[in-house]
Structure 1
Amino acid sequence: MTAAELADRTHRATEAAVAVAADLGLRVQRPVVLHDVFSVVVHLAPEPVVARIPVVLTGATAPDAQAARQQRELDVVAWLDQRGVPVVAPSPLVPRRPFRRDGFPMTFWELADVADDHQPYRGVDISYSAELHAALSECPAPLPFLAPFNHGLPEMLAVLDDVDVLRRGETDRARAEYAALRSILANRSAFESAFPEVEVQPIQGDGPSHNVIRTKDGIRFSDFEDVTIGPVEWDLALIGAEAVAGYDDAARQRRRRVTNPDVQRVMDAARRLQFVGCLTLMPQLPLLADALMEMVQEWRDTPLDL
């Protein structure tokens, strides 16, 4: 997409959110785009409401699948908020459900009082992930198993032939690795058969230590779009041995399970493959190119070892 096309997409997403907000009785005078990468995030000023409109989808793309994914996120985050876990909560001024307008799915959230030193994706100490996992372990919400791997990645791999940066044979390698990993990760039963001693639980699904908002009142977790059932090792994929060791220290202090090296190796492999699948998203989000090609090189250099 060209710069003009990207700007037009942002404008249309913003207009769709403003239209839904107006239907809901909100008085939006000056929408302000706060963030624009995978989602357009818009403050519907002067209301204390933020709309998040996904525009580059890493999950399944069918509208009903999108809506189900968004509803899971809203329900889990609301549950965490009710228990005092620091999260960016769904807006109480809007019904707690996803909306859709002009092809754009969207959800509505409270406006966070962002701190001056906040930077998107700047991580926090890994102990925050252990704290979040402890809270999520009791969440009763019905969730799919390892949704980031099982829902969305197959669709991306199906069109991987259209990616011109892969070398001869690499598309076949990616699909073969997915089939091998899926024999372990397709569902909870398959995983528990492979790793009977490893517990699974609700997890954030997308690097919780980096999906935070620094507010004037402290750290708040955000972006639970990939919330899922799985081993905690998925949330720690590719963060490195030192960070995993730090997580284990924090888990011991909370009397929680420490990581399993074999599971961590499988989760790292599955996460690398997800990044390979995300090559198909580059036309929609060109700024991904450099970071993704670094991950592709790591994937090239790391044969699958199950």
Structure 2
Amino acid sequence: MPDFVTPEQIARRTSAAVDAAVGAGRALGLTVTDAKVLHDLFSVVVHLAPSPVVARVPTVLPHSAGLGSQAPRQQTELDVTGWLADQGTPVIPPSPLVPREPVQRDGFSMTFWQFVEEDRGKEPDYVANAELVADLHAALRAYPGRLSFLSAAEPQVVTESLVLLEERPDLIGPDDLDRARREWQVLEPLVRSRPAFEKAFPGVDLQPVHGDCPPANIFPGVDGKLYADFELVTLGPVEWDLATLGPDLESAYNRGARRNGMRPLNDDVLSFVNAVGMLRTISALMLAPQLPPLLGYLNPAIAQWRSTPFAGGFTSG
């Protein structure tokens, strides 16, 4: 049973990620003399100053996520974000100063992005951001590349985590784990199979979606808001991007959808993605030993999950 990392271990992990980013940046020809950590949670985000380049280095990952599995997903993110930028969509784009591909160094796999100055005086307006997500979906509909169906749900990670959590009663009790496993038996077939999803939800269209709570991943740049962090970009229903966010943000999204001539959110699909989202929350408990503060976010959500209908009310029959 792995222990929770200490602050000293987190500091060493961050330092190693910074060193790798600096070394990779210099190897690509960038001038880096004053690297600054901008963000450190699931990834270490480093401004490779004075170059206008930011490196994002994932550091908190599922146990099965090796370099070989990270790079294809990172390349997809770079491809989608670069295409959006080329279409004039307001995104944080890949850096034009280095090749548009992930770089592996010292056991890390990283990507490089254009540095954008943050407007730190603004509080995030998640309701307004949710309405903007409809604009993003409208732009993504034309993306010509191939995307995997609901890869953002990370079904293999959920499956593996629900097995590993049996050995972690310090993270989840047996009754909760039993319910989560039974819910996953109902939901997993629809997550893994596009035909199964389409049979369950006939007429619900699929398209490229952000994949990772876009209302919380809109960056407040000094010159305006920018969509960011497409690490989990996927093919799925638009409802996926509003999973577990509640009625206020759902209503805001619907306003944006109407403005773009798009359909409103489907209540049945919302129930499904909310249920899947909660199981992803439970599976994230396995990351808590790497990131102890995570429990402060996960446990309240799990407490709320206990009061919700089994599998979001969805049944396989």
TM tier, shorter chain? over 0.9
1:194-214 deviation per Cα after TM superposition (whole angstroms, max 9, x unaligned): 111100100000111110111
Equivalent position of 2:137 in the other structure: 133
2:46 equivalent to 1:45: no
* Alpha-carbon distance in 2 for matches of 1:151, 1:134: 29
**Residue 60 (structure 1) shift:** 5.7
2:152 match = 148
Tell me the SS of whatever aligns to 2:208.
strand
State how 1:28-177 maps to structure 2 within 5 Å: 28-57=32-61, 61-118=65-122, 123=126, 125=128, 126-149=130-153, 150-163=155-168, 164-177=170-183
Q: Is the 8 A contact 1:77 1:89 kept in 2?
A: yes
Cα deviation per residue 1:180-226 (whole Å; 9 max; x = unaligned)?
A: 10122212211111111100100000111110111111000110000
Between the aligned partners of 1:16 and 1:7, the Cα distance in structure 2 is 14
Asked if 1:179 is matched to 2:194, the reply is no
Taking a change above 3 Å as real, the CA distance of residues 198 and 60 of structure 1, as seen in their structure-2 partners, is farther
Unpaired segments ≥5 residues, structure 2? none
Cross-structure match for 2:202:
196
SS at match of 1:284: coil
Between the aligned partners of 2:263 and 2:38, the Cα distance in structure 1 is: 37
Conserved? CA contact 1:124–1:210, under 8 Å: no
- Are 1:59 and 1:148, in contact at CA under 8 Å, matched by a contact in 2? no
Contact 1:32 1:44 in 2 (8 A): yes
Change (3 A) 1:37 1:112: same
Q: Normalising to structure 1: TM-score of the pair?
A: 0.95
Q: Deviations over 1:57-109 (max 9, x none)?
A: 26960322211110110000000000000000000111111111111110000
SS of residue paired to 1:140: coil
> CA shift at 1:169, angstroms?
3.1
Percent of aligned positions that are identical? 44
Shift of 1:124: 5.4
1:19 aligns with 2:19: no
**d(CA) in 2 for partners of 1:283 and 1:300?**
23
Native 8 Å contact 2:67 2:108 kept in 1: no
Which 10-residue stretch deviates more, 2-11 or 160-169?
A: 160-169
Give distance in 1, aligned partners of 2:246 and 2:62.
23
Q: Which residue of 1 aligns with 2:8?
A: 4
CA distance in 1, matches of 2:97, 2:75: 16
RMSD: 1.6
For residues 29-49 of structure 1, the C-alpha deviation after alignment (integer angstroms, 9 at most, x for no partner) is 011000000100000010000
Separation (CA, whole Å) in 2 of partners of 1:14 and 1:122: 31
Kept in 1, the 8 Å contact 2:149–2:234? The answer is: yes
The CA deviation at 1:268 is 0.4
Return the letter of the residue paired with 1:92: P
Unaligned runs of 5+ in 1: none
Whether the aligned pair in 2 keeps the contact of 1:122 and 1:210 (CA below 8 Å) is no
Residue in structure 1 matched with residue 223 of structure 2 by the alignment: 217
Give 1:9 deviation, angstroms: 0.3
SS of the residue corresponding to residue 262 of structure 1 reads helix
Partner SS state of residue 283, structure 1: coil
The 1:122–1:291 alpha-carbon spacing in structure 2 relative to 1, beyond 3 Å, is farther
- Work out the number of aligned pairs and report it: 305
Read off the aligned partner of 1:49 and give its amino acid letter: V
Shift of 1:242: 2.3
AA of the residue aligned to 2:251? A
Letter of the 1:140 partner, please give it: P
Contact 1:273 1:299 in 2 (8 A): no
**Which shifted more, 17-26 or 58-67?**
58-67
Q: After TM superposition, give the deviation of residue 251 of structure 1 in Å.
A: 0.7
Tell me the distance in 2 between the aligned counterparts of 1:151 and 1:81.
31
Q: Does structure 1 retain, via aligned residues, the 8 Å contact 2:70–2:109?
A: yes
* 1:232-289 alpha-carbon deviations (Å, 9 max, x no partner): 1110011111221221122112110111100000000000110000011111111111
Q: State how far apart, in whole Å, the 2-side matches of 1:202 and 1:57 are.
A: 24
**Relative to 1, partners in 2 of residues 1:243 and 1:40: Cα closer, same or farther, differing over 3 Å?**
same
Which residue of structure 2 lines up, in the alignment, with residue 275 of structure 1?
281
Q: Matched residues in 1 for 2:37 and 2:157: separation?
A: 27
